[in-house]
Amino acid sequence: MGLRELDPALAGLGSVLVAFSGGADSAFLLARAVSVLGPERVAAATAASGSLPAAELGPAGEFAAGLGVRWETPRTDELSRDGYRANAGDRCFFCKAELLDVLGPVADRLGLARVATGTNADDVVAGFRPGIRAAAERGAVTPLADAGLTKADVRAASREMGLPTWDKPAAACLSSRIAYGLEISPARLARVERAEAALRAALERAGLSVRDLRVRDLGDAGARVEVDRALLGALAARPDLLAAVTGFPAVTVDPLGFRSGSLNAALPDSYR
């Protein structure tokens, strides 16, 4: 399984709108679709909403322009969905449902046959992925997962293709920083985004290069900062840097360092 399966599958689509978050997976899928189908039969769509860090939008547009494909930035309104705001264990279902409900009409308007997401083979077996179900119910295709391409495969193939996203850190939506059970709101999303940008800038000014960084909103318990494990000692020696994280009743550093999806550990078994 791999590229030998991916390319014929993309060719079989005829034309496609790629749900393009700007991350490594969707960037690779977009580039590969262009190489197989040609730029005139491919388009990229990056949803513009309060859930997407603003810093992600510009680079996504530049990447699409570099491939010569049309780039759409339709507005999505996850916050209009009760299930999304409630932020229970199935929050991602409502987020992905909103995305696909918006992208479907975009694909129709552009005359593109299908909408494809960058879901990879690791995502499918991860266990807790309600968003995948929402996308499947709306007819989205998952060429990377269907070809058995893992995250490592995607990064390796992206590097071979010379894509700048080959080693890009994961950049989940801002709502993933908010503890389950706390209502998602524009204010919470903006506070997390500001805190992460400020802390990243403070670390860089201190000569501490950081790859993965999250500020988790734990409600009354304050904020929990996760950074690369290699930085934990340096951050402990410079507690003044945490002053960059403002707007929370307290700020602590997770001694385990950055862990993707760390908030999922608090979910009841019924969600996992």
**188-232 tens-digit pLDDT:** 999 999 999 999 999 999 999 999 999 999 999 999 999 999 999
Give the pLDDT score at 127.
60
**Are 142 and 199 within one domain?**
no
CATH of residue 116's domain is 3.40.50.620
Residues 58 and 149 in one domain: yes
Are 31 and 89 in a shared domain? yes
Closest CA to 126 of 164, 84, 172, 63: 172
| CATH code of the domain containing 223 | 3.30.300
- For the cut 90, the answer to whether the pLDDT of residue 171 exceeds it is no
Higher pLDDT, 263 or 136: 136
pLDDT digits (tens, 9 = 90+) for 62-87: 999 999 999 999 999 999 999 999 99
On whether residue 168 sits in a domain, the answer given is: no
The pLDDT of residue 131: 87
Does 252 map to a domain?
yes
Q: How confident is the model at residue 272 (pLDDT cuts 50, 70, 90)?
A: low
* pLDDT at residue 28, rounded to an integer: 98
Q: Which of 133, 161, 189 is the last residue of a domain?
A: 161
Asked if 100 and 206 sit in the same domain, the reply is: no
Pull the structure tokens for residue 220.
């009354």
Say if 250 falls within a structural domain: yes
Q: Specify whether 255 is located in the same domain as 194.
A: yes
Please tell me the distance from the alpha carbon of residue 101 to that of residue 40, in angstroms, as a whole number: 23
Same domain, 198 and 126: no
Sheet containing 42-45: order of strands: 70-72, 42-45, 16-19, 114-116
Domain end: 161, 183, 205, which one? 161
d(CA 46, CA 116): 12
Q: Is residue 149 domain-shared with residue 122, that is, in the same domain?
A: yes
pLDDT computed for residue 55 by the predictor: 86
Is the same domain home to 131 and 234? no
- Residue 49: what are its φ and ψ, rounded to 5°? -160, 170
Verify that 13 and 148 share a domain, yes or no.
Answer: yes
CA neighbor of 130 nearest in space, from 98, 169, 152: 98
Contact 140, 117 (CB under 8 A): yes
For residues 52 and 181, membership in a common domain is answered with: no
SS3 of residue 122 by DSSP? helix
Question: Is beta strand 70-72 parallel, antiparallel or unpaired with respect to 114-116?
Answer: unpaired
Q: Which residue has the tokens 């860090």?
A: 53
How many domains does one find in the chain? Answer: 2
Taking phi first (over 0 means left), then psi (-120 to 50 degrees means alpha), and beta for anything else, what does residue 271 get?
Answer: alpha
CA distance 13 to 40: 14
User: The domain containing residue 241 runs over which residues?
Assistant: 174-271
Beta carbons within 10 angstroms of residue 187's beta carbon: 10
Question: Is 166 inside a domain boundary?
Answer: no
Residues 183 and 153 both lie in one domain: no
Same domain for 155 and 181, yes or no, is no
Q: Which residue has the higher pLDDT, 260 or 117?
A: 117
Domain end among 161, 195, 224: 161
Task: State pTM to two decimals.
Answer: 0.92
pLDDT tens track for 7-31: 999 999 999 999 999 999 999 999 9
pLDDT digits (tens, 9 = 90+) for 81-128: 999 999 998 999 999 999 999 999 999 999 999 999 999 999 888 666
Question: In sequence order, which ranges of the chain are alpha helices (DSSP H)?
Answer: 3-13, 24-37, 54-67, 82-86, 91-110, 121-125, 130-137, 143-146, 151-161, 186-205, 232-237
